[in-house]
Structure formats: C-alpha cells, structure tokens
Structure 1
Amino acid sequence: MERIEIPVCTVVKSCAGRDKEGLYVVVGKLDYPYVWIADGRKYKLDKPKKKNCRHLQIVGTSVSRGNAGPLRISNEWIRSVLNRAKMELTREGTHV
C-alpha cells in the first residue's frame, strides 16, 4: 500500500467516520499514519481530533504556514481558511 504523508497546514476532507464530508486543517503529525485535524469549531487547536491519513482526502487548497506565521494560527484563522476552501469547492462544482 502506498504511504501517504499529509503535510501540516493542508486542507483535507474526511472520507470516513462521523465527521465524513467535513473539511479540516491538519494541525499536527503523529506516528504514521495518524495526524491531528481541527476545524476551529468542534475540534479546536487545544483539542484536535486524531485521524488516520487513509480516511482523509487532500483538497486542492494548500495553506502556506509562512502566510500566517507560527504565532498567528488560531481557531479563527482555521475557520477563515476553511470558509475560503468551501467557496472554492462550490465554485468548482458549479462550473462543471
């Protein structure tokens, strides 16, 4: 099986579990194949969700950590990134 590494600050979509179809930002890495994800609402930075990489799909949106700086990453920032990603996905869906 192919080993998929998802970098931190990547927007992902959940493909399995109770949070299926939700958009999240990878906020940390654990031992392969697990990562920490957050959405700024239910799963905040202080208590992110542990998720298997095999149950995540990378969305075409990638967030550069340099834009936010290491100290500016917050729940509000995550929510704004996810809102922009949702708008991009809906825009792409209407053009098809």
Structure 2
Amino acid sequence: MNQEIMLQPGQIVKILKGRDAGQYAVIVSIEDSRFVWIADGDKRKFDGAKKKNVLHLEPQAHISSEVVNSLQESGRVTNSKLRFVVSRFVSDKSKADQKGD
C-alpha cells in the first residue's frame, strides 16, 4: 500500500486488519505518523475511538467536509454524523461499483 497518501481527520478509511476488517470508518484524529484514531459512530463511537496502525488501513479518496468542519468548530463530531458519512460513502461506492467506474 502506498503510504504517501497523507491521512487527515475526516478522511474515510477501509479497515484491513483486526476484528473490524472490511468495515469503513472515519479518521477522527491523528496520533503521529504511525497511528490514527478512527470511529464509525456505530460499533465504534467517537468517545471510544479506536487507535489503529496506519498500515492496517486503506485510505479512501473521500474526505468528509462535515466531519472536518465539526472537528474544527467543536473538537468533536456526533456519532450520528459519523454513521451518516460512512453509510453515504458506502452507498455511493456500491453505486459506482455497479456502474463500473
């Protein structure tokens, strides 16, 4: 995997390793160059964000402006917003996959 992609808060990632492998989540904060904190608002709430090694994540091109704005304004983001962002990304992605983009 190409680690040149700069990870940033609000970015959607696909989890590659661990119990949640295959799931999508949103980066809620960056620990350092090797670790980020992710949450999906459902199984993994914002207050219980999971610390993940960036090598175990596949960054997606999508960065949620709603999450970025919320984090900048209040330093946190609601679980419902995380759920919404993840579910919208997954449904958009499956539509794109069906079209063959």
Counterpart of 2:88 in structure 1 is 84
Q: Structure 1 unaligned runs (5+)?
A: none
Aligned positions, number: 95
Question: Which residue matches 1:58?
Answer: 59
Distance 1:4 1:94, change over 3 A: closer
Quote the Cα distance in structure 1 between the aligned partners of 2:21 and 2:73. Answer: 29
* Moved beyond 6 Å, runs of 4+: none
User: 1:59 Cα shift?
Assistant: 1.6
Q: Residue 13 of structure 1 contacts residue 57 of structure 1 at CA under 8 Å; is this kept in 2?
A: yes
1:2-44 deviation line (CA, Å, top 9, x unaligned) = 5553101101101111111100000011122000000101111
Q: Structure 2: which 5+ residue stretches go unaligned?
A: none
- Tell me which amino acid in the other structure corresponds to 2:87: N
